[in-house]
Amino acid sequence: MPKRNKPQLTLQTQDDQEQALPFVSDPRPTLQSMNGGDKMESGELNIRNKLNDTSLSSERKFCCCITGRPKTRELVALSEDLLPSTVEEHNQSRISNPKKSPPQSSIKKAFSGTNLPLTLLVIGAVLTLISSLTIIPIVEYVLNSQVQQELVVTGTDSPSFAQWAGNTDEDGLNVNYNVYMFEVANHEDVLQGAKPELSQVGPYVYNEYFTRHQIKWNADSTEVTYYMQWTYVFDEVASHPRSDTNDTVVQANLVAMGLRTMVQGMDSMIETKIQTWISNQSAVIQPILHKLLDDEDPADLITKAAICLTSGKDAMGPFHRRSPRDLYFGYNNDPTLAKIKNLLPAADAKTFSTYAPGLSNNYTDEADVMRRDNTWTTYTGKDDIKKLGKYKYYANMTEMYVCVDYTFACDGVIPPSPDLDAGEIPVCHKFQYDWTDREIFCHGYVPMFNGYEANKIEGTDATQSGDLPVRGDYMQVFISDLYRSSRLKYFGDVDDWHGITLRRYGIDPTDLLNADSDPSQADFYQFAYNGMENMSTAAGFPLFASKPHYLDADDEALLSVVGMNPDPKLHDTYVDYEPNTGVAMRAAKRLQINTVLYPLPVLRSGTVENYELRKHWPNYTDVFDCLEMVTDGTQETYTPYAWTDEFYTYSDDDADEFKDVVLGTQNLAVAVSIYSAIAAGTFFVCFGWTYLYRKKVKREERESLALELTEKEQLILGSDPLTLSARHDTVTF
């Protein structure tokens, strides 16, 4: 039997030194010896013990190799006296100096090892958040696009054309217009200086109808021009037992107030005519009349004379009694104006109208509105939804002007010639937006307020907002009843309309300040109390608007009369907008009109002047009795005249349709967003935890395999299993 060669351990250092160490050979035959091979080539078994660089000094870095000889198995290893200490040093080195991995990118780190589950959870959370944040905005965008298509009216075939064009159809929007009159219950005492005691009478209920006539769009349908007709039909059932024609109310005589203002504005001309008239009287009467003019204001004297000539001993001074319809909507053939007309020369009388204008126009038909009013031009919102419903021209104006004298003309302008005998209401020529200032003046117009900013027409009529969704704190509107642009202020959300949340806007309190509180209000001639708007330029006599019952006005205004009981729930103006559509689903415009009472002069009885006048005009006894009536005790007082409650709300069917279409879509979007978020979150959480579980199973499998390998090493090397287990990951077969 051939002699077995004793294996040698060759230790190769960096100095290429070789050293033979004794080693106990493995008595088991090698795989190669069993196959009868002379050399271990393909069947060579190498075991490399890869120690950390820090386990030995740089001088002792080595590679252990065991090379087999023919018919033998050589094993590369450390000698028995070096192995234990070397392994211990190696293991300690692994603990104190763990092996460093090559640098990894942040993305690679996130998706490697134990970071992957956390990464997946983060991704799940992010995707969940994205889904919840994007689904609703996307649905809102689509919803807003659909709303815009519904609201923009670019032709007669637009979905909202019929609703926009008018409400005279059976299914049109119901608008209530309730009128409340203030009767001066103690008018005789007021003439003596008492405070006016007011009694509210009403409501006189009207159904308000609006119709747009002569509708024309521009070439690209971004603007639309039309005439706007307002008609008020008395509702006898809702007003019962009150009647707007049979009832009568004692009120301030606005015609007398207007006459006084007119005379004051024509002092020089009036004075000339009066002097001419006096010169034609007898020599005895002339000095008496001159003395009266010197002692009294001519405007006040003429006003009282006109009242007395009209009513005689039945005159009520600055008051008169008329029906609510006449007082509010105006009437023809006012007796005072008729009397004055009869006293005028024929040339002047021809153009003198006896029509007493009311506080609101009640147009009879399309022809009436086309003759008396002018066209409006608004933006359709086709090119920019934020411009929806905004005025380009109101009554063909970009700034507010009012007609004060239709008979006035200059620079060759021919005044209008209404058929007064047929009862036509006189009006100025229709305003043209391209007139010069001189042309405006020569057509009988004057600016409503002082300066461009005060007269500028901007905003919508408040029934629609194109700024979708409605979220702003302020909204610009033009209030035609007040002849001015104003701001509506956001006052909070309300949810008492069919459970739908609406945004409530009301009149900005700063617009109701007077010039003492806000100097900028001087341009609006706000020199009365806080809480009052000056409309005197348009009316032709002192006229002011306020909230009903002087709500939010100065205490001085409230205490100047008796009978005011302000209540925000009953007397405040508000507009409730649905924020998604910008439609004013509910609105109440509440406006009070106030005038000013003035003292009128008195012709004292028993005086020489009175005696001579009665003697000269014996047929005017009733007139002289009226002139002797005490009217000079009347205090100059802002006195409420009437107030209106213009109210509408969309129907139950409209609310149900809105819930189905708009809110239904929104609720669906919220539900989809929530369930998408839950589904995405659940998927990634489950995926993450599944991954962790599978990783745990694999780790256990690796540990079991490592234990088996350790046992094999023990059989091969006869070493301690714990030591081999500690370094099993460094042994490669």
Residues pairing with 176 in the sheet: 207, 647
Place of tokens 């307020």: 449
CA–CA dist 16, 3 (Å, integer): 30
Structure token digits, residue 163: 């609703």
Q: Rounded to an integer, what distance in angstroms lies between the CA atom of residue 566 and that of residue 558?
A: 9
HSE-up (13 A, CA, CB side) for residue 91: 14
pLDDT of the residue at 229 = 97
For 190, list phi and psi in degrees, rounded to 5.
-60, -35
- Cα→Cα distances 146→150, 462, 604, 665, Å: 6, 22, 76, 11
Measured distance CA(6)–CA(545) in Å, rounded: 125
At 61, the amino acid letter reads: K
Q: Most distant CA pair in the chain: distance in Å?
A: 181
C-alpha span between 216 and 416 (Å, rounded): 26
Q: Which two tokens stand for residue 469?
A: 């969704």
Cα–Cα distance measured from residue 584 to residue 571, given in angstroms and rounded to the nearest whole number: 19
Could you tell me if 474 and 487 are in contact, meaning their C-beta atoms sit under 8 angstroms apart?
Answer: yes
Residues of the chain by 3-state class (helix, strand, coil), percent to 5? 40, 20, 40
Phi, then psi, of 727 in degrees rounded to 5: -125, 20
**Alpha-carbon gap, residue 600 to 192, rounded angstroms:** 11
| Contact (Cβ atoms closer than 8 angstroms) between residue 210 and residue 646 | no
Q: How far apart are CA 22 and CA 12, in angstroms?
A: 15
Mean pLDDT by 10 residues, the chain (733 residues): 44 42 42 42 42 41 40 41 48 51 51 55 64 59 68 93 93 95 94 94 97 97 97 96 95 88 72 80 86 82 85 81 95 88 79 89 93 96 92 98 92 92 90 96 96 96 88 94 96 91 95 96 96 94 96 95 96 94 93 93 81 86 86 88 96 77 54 59 65 71 72 59 48 39
CA distance 98 to 693: 27
**Chain position carrying tokens 């033979």:** 20
Strands 9-12, 532-534: pairing is unpaired
Bridge-based pairing state of the strands 9-12 and 20-21: antiparallel
Residues 322, 251 contacting (CB under 8 angstroms): yes
- DSSP string covering 391-447, please? EEEBTTBSB-EEES-TT---TTPPPP---GGGTPPP-PPPP-TT--HHHHHHTTEEE
Going by C-beta distance under 8 Å and a sequence separation of 6 or more, which residues neighbour residue 685?
Answer: 121, 124
What is the spatial distance between Cα 337 and Cα 623, in angstroms, rounded to a whole number? Answer: 16
Distance CA 117, CA 120 (A): 5
Element (H, E) at 609: helix 608-616
User: Residue 83, Cα to own-chain centre: how many angstroms?
Assistant: 86
Backbone phi and psi for residue 5, each to the nearest 5 degrees, phi listed first: -70, 135
Supply the pLDDT for residue 640: 97
Contact 609, 627 (CB under 8 A): no
Say how far apart CA 320 and CA 334 lie, in whole Å: 11
Q: List residues bridging with 64 in a β-sheet.
A: 11
Task: Give the tens place of pLDDT for each residue, 120-142.
Answer: 566 666 666 665 566 556 655 66
In the prediction, which pLDDT does 23 show?
38
CA distances from residue 487 to 335, 494, 535 in whole angstroms, order as listed = 41, 20, 18
b/e code 97-115 from CB counts within 10 Å (16+ = b): eeeeeeeeeeeeebeeeee
